[in-house]
Amino acid sequence: MKQTIITVLLALVAMVGRGQTRGIGLSEYTRVKNHYCYETSSRQREIGKTDDLTFLLDYLPELKIDRKYILSDFRKPFSFRPPKDWSSLRFYVRKKSQQRPEDEYFDKEYHRYQKSKRENTPYKVSKNLVPFIDPFEKISLTGTEMSIWQAYLLQFSRLLYGMRNEANYDKTYIITSAEDVDSVTSLLKNEWEDDLFKEGFDPSSVEKKWEKHMNETFAAVDSLQNIKSRSLEPVFTYDADSVTIEHYAFAEFHGLVRFKTTMFFTNRHHRHVKRIKQKSVNVLAAYSRTVWY
């Protein structure tokens, strides 16, 4: 089956929402999400090469960064030369007065930071090096539900872009409307699996080794259509100093999924994020693109 390895334009993701939100309609969630996805995808090459990424917050106006800091990516610049880089976006902040770290420094320091998180021990930066500072230590929210949604979009960016590699693994599309469902379905039918949806296609002609993939593809399309009639806006559940966000998404190498993520705040005013924990990713319809090299 024919398959392109060209990265498809960044667009959408999905998760069905139930319950009441605080007065922000579906169109508003969708408008903000679409604007952020469109503007950032159109500058994706720039994001991969530019050190100062603070401009991304222009599309998330209810987030404010400390004026002494910039938003950046804690990775060395992308290169097609070996060894291959399979990393995902790592937002961090650093002081404007500090120089960008040397390329060979990034991975080592980031792994030290991750180890401290796993072991629940204090993170101590290496001497004379720029520390990894979580963006939300210096980015504040207005406290509204929309600001929580915008903070979530910033956190979700690593999946919006996918990994650095030819296939763009982990690339995920947020779905908050029926139009998003149509867009992902169009990608499936016209870009990723166009051979399966050509007029006159005979399923019996598919080689046995491809039957499972074909059946999963058809099931994924059916599942997308099944959620189309539901309310697709994200759901926010409040509990003391935390907010849990649930929504549907479509991942190119996982299929139709439901994300459940909890954001913990320093207090119930929801202005400062303490930590973010992905509670679960429930796969509703498995699917994985086939990529030819």
pLDDT tens column, 16-46: 232 334 435 457 888 999 999 988 888 777 7
Q: For residue 3, tell me if it sits in a domain.
A: no
d(CA 160, CA 162): 6
CA distances from 261 to 143, 198, 264 (A): 18, 38, 10
- Is 36 contained in some domain? yes
Segment of 105-119, 120-134, 157-171, 230-244 carrying the highest mean pLDDT: 230-244
In a domain, 145, yes or no: yes
Does residue 292 lie within any of the structural domains?
no
Q: Give me the number of domains the chain comprises.
A: 1
For residue range 137-155, what is the model confidence (pLDDT) as tens digits?
Answer: 999 999 999 999 999 999 9
Residue 2 lies in a domain: no
pLDDT tens-place string over residues 56-91: 999 999 999 999 999 998 887 766 555 666 677 889
Residue 204 in domain: yes
Mean pLDDT of 247-262: 94
Q: Kindly state whether residue 140 falls inside one of the protein's structural domains.
A: yes
Beta strands in the chain (DSSP E): 13-14, 63-65, 69-73, 91-95, 139-141, 172-175, 235-239, 242-251, 255-265, 273-286
Predicted TM-score (pTM) of the model is 0.83
Beta bridge partners of 277: 262
- Tokens representing 231 are 């309310």
- Which domain covers residue 189, as residue numbers? 13-286
Q: Is residue 5 part of a domain?
A: no
